[in-house]
Amino acid sequence: MQYLVSAFIFIFIGSFSSNAVAWGQTGHRITGQIAEQWLTAETKAAIAAILGPEGLAEASTYPDDMRSNPDTFWQKTANPYHFVTLANGQHYHDTDCPPEGDSVSALKQFTKVLQDNSSSITDKQLALRFVVHMIGDLHQPLHVSSGKVKDNGGNAVPVTFFKRPSNLHRMWDSELIDQQQLSYSEYASWLNARITKQQYQQWSSADYQQWISESARVRDGVYPLSPELGWDYLYQHNPTVKLRLQQAGVRIAAYLNKVL
């Protein structure tokens, strides 16, 4: 009975988090910082011409930083840009994109802006920040939703993490990473040092369908048998978190090297 009451409270809280961010501030900055290490000189120059002194780590969180902006674009239009939906056992196709759009449609839209010489610098800044952010999003397993309404991408799955109330989505966005008590630059440095040239070549695909399929395969294994999570869950899934952060960083770089 006590657990049912707690579950109701968690689900009630989770209902306000349906638009939760992916990876959280630290995770996104890690992916941006890793990406910086794999950019070509030409791409670095192109990025500097768009963002000036702003690096990819800083740019990576902009779409989340702006979600409290009352403008219609941020309150309505951009909301679907943070996730895709893919049912179990399926492969993402362009026809799966809903009318309101998703991460894939937005990625294509903002890529066109970056490649259009007539785009304003302001539009290119927004586009580049979204591209970096969304590639990161697509590597967070719970941002590839299974489409289960009651699940809400893990937001409606109540858990405690080291006895702190949370939900599964928030855990994967931030808490598994923050538990390491590292700055984003420290974490990125550690992860990047372990990426080999062979891994870069293996991971540097610009195929978003591959990224989505990988996240979907991981997603189905992150749901816990018990809501009380701690060291065992961290031990089991921390390697996956690190891998997805590394892959996201490499693919941000590979994608921008191709686009710019």
Least confident window among 7-11, 205-209, 214-218 = 7-11
Q: How confident is the model at residue 144 (pLDDT cuts 50, 70, 90)?
A: very high
Residue 149 DSSP SS3: coil
- Structural domain spans, the chain: 2-259
152: which DSSP letter? G
Give the pairing type, strands 144-145 and 84-85: parallel
Which tokens is 151 given?
Answer: 């699940």
pLDDT tens, position by position, 64-79: 999 999 999 999 999 9
Q: For 2-259, CATH number?
A: 1.10.575.10
- R_g of the chain, CA atoms, integer Å: 18
Q: Which residue has the higher pLDDT, 1 or 91?
A: 91
Q: How confident is the model at residue 126 (pLDDT cuts 50, 70, 90)?
A: very high
Contacting residues for 124 by C-beta, under 8 A, at least 6 apart:
50, 113, 114
Give the pairing type, strands 158-161 and 164-167: antiparallel
Task: Supply the pLDDT for residue 21.
Answer: 61
Q: For residues 114 and 116, what is the distance between their CA atoms, to the nearest angstrom?
A: 6
How far CA 130 is from CA of 28, 147, 151, in Å, comes to 12, 23, 26
- Residues of the chain with pLDDT > 90, as a percent, come to 80
